Amino acid sequence: MLPHLDHRRWFFRQSKLAIYLTRRLWSLRLVRIVGVALVLVAAVPFVVFFILRPHPQADVNYGVTFSNKYAAQLGLDWQTAYLKILDDLRVPRLRLTAYWDEIEAERDVYDFSIIRWQLDRARERNIPVILITGRKVVRYPECFEPQWWEEITSESEREREVYEFVEQTVMQLQEYPNITMWQIENEPFFPFGDCALDIKWSVLKKEIALARSLDSRPILTQDSGEGGLWLPTYTLGDYLAISMYRRIWFDFWGVLLGRTVYFQYPLSYWTYKIKADLVRVPFDRIIVTELQAEPWGPRGNEQLSRAEKDRTMSRQHFIDTLNYSQKAGFKDLYFWGAEWWLYEKEDLGESFYWDTARALFTKVAVKGASSRDPGL
């Protein structure tokens, strides 16, 4: 008899034995219960994803966060840079900051000229604005208290001064109809910045209550998109602002014993929508106010080499991040880094980021005009 026939018979017998043993095993009730449970557990993620998965928006509301301080840090004339962002970049929406140390450099003497100038130029162009106020706002070191405030030793007196600044900001700027909402503080409970974790929950609640008592426009509160809990911060306001970062350089709060690393968040685009549903924050009430569109490295961006910049924001990273954010399904996306795009274009001759964003904003503007006017 040929050897290969013996192999076939052996395989046939072993198969029959395996089937027989499997049937006997499956006849046990406990095994059936465990087997069904394992199948259900394995299927749950797929069911959740199918039900909660995001759907890309047909028309995204794009904007940028602008900081006059950051523009100056990059060596730009901030007013010229701002006008170029409005008129050349044609940004559709803005997020601006009322910096406390600029406005009240001397105690009880208020000068809103810098933020008023920005708001005036935006109003002339009918550009909607999210206005940020408070102690912890955008751009490093994130906390911009006046020097005189630092010298106050009484905690209650310090808190009163914070309330007074928020009150003055809302009262002085509420005349601007293009301010669509007030953002009170920026990532107040996220451990990043010089005053990280210094802001009390009770103080933030009073700031928000004060703003509500003075103006009827919605309140926006900010949390980290990657590391925040979302729901507690959202419950304080009407809308939740989040960041959306892909690649960073960080020391992770000293956990790595002083060592710093380049790191890519291991989050798929669909995790934001599923997280929102799981923590019970309405997805349509979330605004991405800081969509990473510039590098994050060991020094200021104006001091980084091209190789260092490319580790966290290369041309390909820029396109990938844009595609990622569009697939995430958010209606409102505000880029973080327009000042850097201009710096790259004018100081270093790298116009890719500026030109790509301008093409996107122009396309959105033309599409919006076409939808409003059937004759176009």
238 — phi, psi (to 5°)?
-105, -30
Q: Which of 146, 128, 137, 63 is nearest to 97 (CA)?
A: 137
Residue 322 reports pLDDT greater than 60: yes
Q: Which residues of 54-82 are buried (b: 16+ CB within 10 A; e: fewer)?
A: beeeeebbbbbbbbbbbbebbebebeebb
The answer to whether residues 171 and 29 belong to one domain is: no
Range of the domain at 178: 60-372
Average pLDDT value for the chain = 89
Q: In the structure, what pLDDT confidence band is assigned to residue 374 with cuts at 50, 70 and 90?
A: very low
Instruction: Indicate the pTM of the whole model.
Output: 0.85
Which pair of structure tokens corresponds to residue 193? 């910045």
The answer to whether residues 67 and 124 belong to one domain is: yes
Structural domain includes residue 54? no
pLDDT for 150-172, tens place per residue?
999 999 999 999 999 999 999 99
The identity of residue 240, as a single letter, is: L
The answer to whether residues 135 and 33 belong to one domain is: no
Task: Confirm if 308 and 295 have CB atoms less than 8 A apart.
Answer: yes
CATH number of the domain within which 307 lies: 3.20.20.80
Structural domain includes residue 128? yes
Structural domain includes residue 50? no
The answer to whether residues 306 and 210 belong to one domain is: yes
Other C-beta atoms closer than 10 Å to the C-beta of 322 total: 18
Specify the pLDDT at position 40.
55
The answer to whether residues 40 and 79 belong to one domain is: no
The answer to whether residues 76 and 164 belong to one domain is: yes
Specify the pLDDT at position 53.
63
The answer to whether residues 166 and 195 belong to one domain is: yes
Specify the pLDDT at position 46.
47
Structural domain includes residue 53? no
The answer to whether residues 170 and 280 belong to one domain is: yes
Question: Radius of gyration over alpha carbons of the chain, in Å?
Answer: 27
Residue 1 reports pLDDT greater than 70: no
Structural domain includes residue 19? yes
The answer to whether residues 110 and 67 belong to one domain is: yes
Burial of 240 (0-12, 13-18, 19+ CB in 10 A): buried
The answer to whether residues 240 and 294 belong to one domain is: yes
pLDDT for 288-306, tens place per residue?
999 999 999 989 999 999 9
Return the residue matching tokens 């026939």. Answer: 5
Other C-beta atoms closer than 10 Å to the C-beta of 366 total: 11
Domain count, the chain: 2
Tell me the average pLDDT across 183-194. 91
Does 14 or 92 have the greater pLDDT score? 92
Q: Which of 137, 140, 144, 118 is nearest to 129 (CA)?
A: 118
The answer to whether residues 263 and 329 belong to one domain is: yes
The answer to whether residues 211 and 132 belong to one domain is: yes
Task: Confirm if 155 and 190 have CB atoms less than 8 A apart.
Answer: no
Specify the pLDDT at position 25.
66
